[in-house]
């Protein structure tokens, strides 16, 4: 149910949200509240406690780690408020669910929270419909925000080495962000010119994947890795940094390759393997499509349904 179309997020909004949530829970006789987002979890956790309702909080990232990796850190007051909301939301939830095993383990290790885990769902039907026309080409896809945490500069450096050996290869970057100008300048500095294509935001990512032979995710921090799961559903091998939830998505040597975060040389070697062996891409692509079925909405819904039943029968 949509209760607000307002875009502002001041203090008055959050007070309004709490009031609106109380009315909605009572009017609709809601037994359980499921929330995402740090501030939302704090507000709705308070509502749940006030009304005696169970609260499920799905954690899709650690906001304190995200502040650490941010290109521009927010001010002290904002960081204090964010940390306060984070801890309140975690403590008030009836059940905390990490978006990956890694996220659940991080919550336990860093914050003492006993969290369950459920992967994020993908639109498996949409992405698995992608054909294989690009699998035998040399387009390398990236789908990401252009921020330091996504490690795109590492990839561009790795690609410069690959490009010298395979001048027909292209790096196709889908997305935008604060680093775009810097990344474009870096590509020019390395003499890559038209071999790197900055496509901006696209709402037809499945078509970009269909025209590509693989996807690369060089992130420094990644609680899950939605783009990796979607690319595997499209039948594309994924080369990803061995961090966070990516190690749960990519089966190293089977559906793609893992490499050490920020290690541009190792990444270039993995890219070279993928580009040099069409048969390997075919095998990995087929295995990837099967592997991605784990993230289909029906599978994820079943896992959440079991959590709901557990809470409601307590």
- The least confident of 2-11, 63-72, 252-261 is 2-11
pLDDT, position 6: 60
pLDDT score of 214 more than 90: yes
What pLDDT sits at residue 78? 86
Q: What residue segments make up the domains of the chain, in order of their start? A: 11-121+297-312, 124-295
Burial of 230 (0-12, 13-18, 19+ CB in 10 A): buried
pLDDT of res. 14:
81
- What are the start-end ranges of the H helices in the chain? 11-28, 38-51, 63-69, 76-92, 101-111, 124-128, 152-165, 180-189, 205-210, 226-233, 246-249, 264-276, 278-291, 297-312
pLDDT at position 273: 97
Chain segment 159-169, per-residue pLDDT in tens: 999 999 999 99
Question: The domain 124-295 is classified under which CATH number: 3.40.50.2000, 3.10.180.10, 3.90.1150.10, 3.30.750.24?
Answer: 3.40.50.2000
Q: Closest Cα to residue 223, out of 41, 38, 34, 62?
A: 62
Is 261:155 a contact under the CB 8 Å cutoff? no
CATH superfamily of 11-121+297-312: Glycogen Phosphorylase B; (3.40.50.2000)
- How far, in Å, CA of 288 to CA of 249, rounded? 9
Give the pLDDT of residue 8.
58
Tell me the C-alpha distance between 196 and 172, whole Å. Answer: 6
Q: Is the pLDDT assigned to residue 71 strictly greater than 90?
A: no
What digits encode the pLDDT tens for the residues 34-47? 999 999 999 999 99
Mean pLDDT of the chain: 94
With a pLDDT cut of 90, the percent of the chain lying above it is 86
Model pLDDT, residue 168? 94
**Is 11-121+297-312's fold the same as 124-295's?**
yes
Per-residue pLDDT tens for 262-291?
999 999 999 999 999 999 999 999 999 999
Q: Which pTM was predicted? A: 0.93
Residue 252 CA: distances (Å) to CA of 16, 41, 240:
48, 35, 9
* Cα angle 163-136-260, degrees, rounded to a multiple of 5: 50
Overall average pLDDT of the 210-236 stretch: 97
Residue 295, pLDDT above cutoff 90:
yes
Please give the average per-residue pLDDT across 17-28, as a whole number. 90
The answer to whether 135 touches 215, Cβ cutoff 8 Å, is no
- The arithmetic mean of pLDDT across residues 22-33, rounded, is 93
- Give the span between the Cα atoms of 226 and 206, in whole angstroms: 13
Chain-centroid distance of CA 37 in Å reads 14
């Amino acid at each position: 149910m949509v209760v607000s179309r307002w875009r502002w997020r001041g203090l008055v909004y959050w007070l309004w949200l709490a009031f609106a949530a109380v009315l909605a829970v009572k009017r609709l006789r809601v037994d359980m509240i499921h929330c995402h987002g740090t501030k939302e979890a704090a507000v709705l956790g308070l509502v749940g406690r006030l009304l005696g309702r169970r609260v499920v909080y799905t954690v899709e990232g650690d906001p304190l780690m995200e502040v650490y990796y941010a290109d521009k850190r927010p001010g002290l007051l904002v960081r204090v408020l964010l940390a306060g909301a984070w801890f309140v939301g975690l403590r008030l939830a009836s059940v905390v669910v990490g978006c990956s095993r890694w996220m659940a383990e991080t919550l336990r290790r860093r914050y003492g929270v006993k969290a369950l885990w459920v992967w994020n769902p993908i639109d498996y039907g949409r992405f698995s419909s992608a054909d294989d026309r690009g699998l035998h080409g040399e387009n390398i896809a990236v789908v990401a925000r252009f921020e330091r945490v996504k490690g795109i500069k590492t990839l561009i450096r790795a690609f410069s080495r690959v490009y010298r050996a395979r001048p027909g290869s292209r790096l196709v970057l889908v997305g935008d962000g604060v680093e775009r100008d810097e990344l474009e300048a870096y590509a020019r500095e390395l003499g890559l010119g038209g071999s790197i294509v900055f496509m901006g935001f696209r709402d037809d990512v499945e078509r970009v994947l269909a025209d590509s032979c693989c996807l690369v995710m060089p992130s420094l921090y990644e609680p899950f890795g939605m783009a990796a799961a979607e690319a595997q559903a499209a039948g594309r091998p994924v080369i990803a940094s061995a961090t966070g939830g990516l190690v749960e998505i990519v089966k190293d040597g089977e559906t793609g390759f893992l490499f050490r975060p920020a290690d541009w040389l190792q990444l270039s070697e993995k890219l070279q393997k993928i580009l040099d062996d069409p048969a390997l891409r075919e095998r990995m692509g087929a295995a990837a499509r099967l592997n991605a079925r784990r993230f289909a909405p029906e599978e994820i819904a079943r896992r959440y349904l079991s959590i709901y039943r557990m809470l409601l029968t307590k």
